[in-house]
Amino acid sequence: MATIAVLGTLDSKGHEHAFVAEVIRGLGHEPLLIDVGCLEPPQVEPQVSRTDILPGLPDLPLDRGLRVTAMAEAVPAYVARLAAEGRIQGIISLGGGGGTAISTAAMRALPLGFPKLMVSTLASGNTAPYVGVKDIVMMPSIVDVAGLNRISRKLFTQAAGAICGMVSAGATAVEAGEAKPLIVASMFGNTTACVTEAKRLLEEAGYEVLVFAATGQGGKTMESLIESGLVAGVLDITTTEWADEWVGGVLNAGPHRLEAAGKFSVPAIIAPGCLDMVNFGAPESVPAKFRDRLFYHHNPQVTLMRTTPEENAELGRILAEKVNAYTAPVTVLLPLGGISVVSAPGGPFHDAAADAALFGALKSGLRAGIPVREYAGNVNEPGFAAACAGALLENIAASR
């Protein structure tokens, strides 16, 4: 039997959460009813009160927005502590705008793989602000979470069954690869051959390798997994998201990309894969200010723009600044024959001056003690992949 947190604004949706709690109990698990309501008294008696989570709530002004914000800031730490102490094994919530904001803030504080289900009036729209980089299941409520009726009873019962199933499956599943140490890797279409070969070599050495597409959200998710403490090494071959972040493309991962390995002392290798390109959608989506630049039409929906020497010099400086903060062993590898398929000699993005600006700024900006290894060929040659895998294995061994 597992304990499942049933977390919600019990001042407005208490009866609905109590209904879900009873279904969970009937399915053989123990609900923990948690109140995160902010204004009126709870409709049902919670097991965890709102002041257990936010002791100063009664002293706040009776302003809904202010109180919702305060609760959303307080509840993540409380719920994360319950999970870390083994007091809950899953979480479910029902909500509208305020309830979804509060409850998903709590869910985002929980580790990947921890069962999380949000039944929400907002689940059919843009869920990115609520899900972030976590594995939160968003289920449309169809009708408003405003009472029990023939539709809501059915959907809430199914939601309760779903969270119970997630918890039970997590408790019984045995993954053959779970005992292997974990490596995360960044990949793009233009570095696929390199990452695939490096992955093969690392798996032969006894590691499990998770590959993340360097498309903005992929980079953010990889950084989040590194922060979870589950990762033994980082194969960051494809740092292209920084080109979109700096120049203004559509696949940026934000200003904190490349920071998690440093903050959490995880051994790593860094390569400037695909920093030759900035990503846009169809040709008509490219901002007018870039109309005189060099483009490559990857497909009808993706337009690539070549980075300039000046942009590459700044990108090299940024990468050096990020890597300088690493505390675990880290190695920088530079493929002198091209940092993507299309920037190899003879390719549409080949630009020796831009590559030289990138490599020069990166090398000159690194602090003493960080090894830099240069490879004469292209990023996608088997030799470069072997160099990356070998350097990462060396760094992992050294960190022990």
Whose structure tokens read 């200010």?
289
Give 165: exposed, middle or buried? Use CB within 10 Å, 0-12, 13-18, 19+.
middle
Residues 203 and 180: their CA atoms lie apart, in Å, by 9
Structure tokens at 30: 């123990």
Residue 98 main-chain phi, psi, to 5 deg: -65, -45
Pairing of strands 302-306, 295-299: antiparallel
Q: How many CA atoms lie within 13 A of 286 on its CB side?
A: 22
Q: Where are the domains positioned within the chain?
A: 3-171, 176-280+307-399
Q: What is the pLDDT of residues 313-326, one digit of tens each?
A: 999 999 999 999 99
Residues 66 and 86: their CA atoms lie apart, in Å, by 31
pLDDT at 228 (0 to 100): 84
Residues 170 and 55: their CA atoms lie apart, in Å, by 34
Residues 135 and 360: their CA atoms lie apart, in Å, by 40
pLDDT at 174 (0 to 100): 47
pLDDT at 170 (0 to 100): 76
CATH number of 3-171: 3.40.50.12020
Same topology for domains 3-171 and 176-280+307-399, yes or no?
A: yes
Report the percentage of the chain scoring pLDDT > 70. Answer: 98
Residues 277 and 315: their CA atoms lie apart, in Å, by 12
Q: What is the pLDDT of residues 137-157, one digit of tens each?
A: 999 999 999 899 999 999 999
Straight-line distance from the first to the last Cα atom of the chain, in angstroms, rounded to the nearest whole number: 38
Whether pLDDT at 82 is above 80: yes
Pick the range with the lowest mean pLDDT from 78-82, 299-303, 333-337, 381-385. Answer: 299-303
Structure tokens at 169: 């499956």
Nearest to 222 by CA among 175, 266, 278: 266
pLDDT at 173 (0 to 100): 53
Residue 276 main-chain phi, psi, to 5 deg: -80, -5
Q: What is the pLDDT of residues 250-298, one digit of tens each?
A: 999 999 999 999 999 999 999 999 999 999 999 999 999 999 999 999 8
Residue 290 main-chain phi, psi, to 5 deg: -100, 10
Residues 353 and 306: their CA atoms lie apart, in Å, by 12
pLDDT at 176 (0 to 100): 46
Pick the range with the lowest mean pLDDT from 27-31, 109-113, 263-267, 320-324. Answer: 109-113
Whether pLDDT at 93 is above 60: yes
Mean pLDDT of 184-210: 97
Mean pLDDT of 113-136: 92
Average pLDDT over the chain, rounded to an integer: 95
Residues 380 and 392: their CA atoms lie apart, in Å, by 17
CA dist list (Å): 278 to 162, 186, 194, 308, 381: 41, 16, 20, 10, 23
pLDDT at 298 (0 to 100): 87
Whether pLDDT at 175 is above 60: no
Mean pLDDT of 339-365: 97
176-280+307-399 domain in CATH 3.90.79.10?
A: no
Number of H helices, E strands in the chain: 13, 14
Structure tokens at 108: 């985002």
Model pTM score: 0.78
Query: Which range among 173-177, 223-227, 242-246 has the greatest average pLDDT?
Result: 242-246
pLDDT at 139 (0 to 100): 96
Contacts within 8 Å (CB) and 24+ apart, 129-135: 130/100, 130/101, 130/104, 131/104, 132/104, 132/108, 132/220, 132/224, 133/217, 133/220, 133/221, 133/223, 133/224, 134/107, 134/108, 134/110, 134/224
Mean pLDDT of 354-359: 98
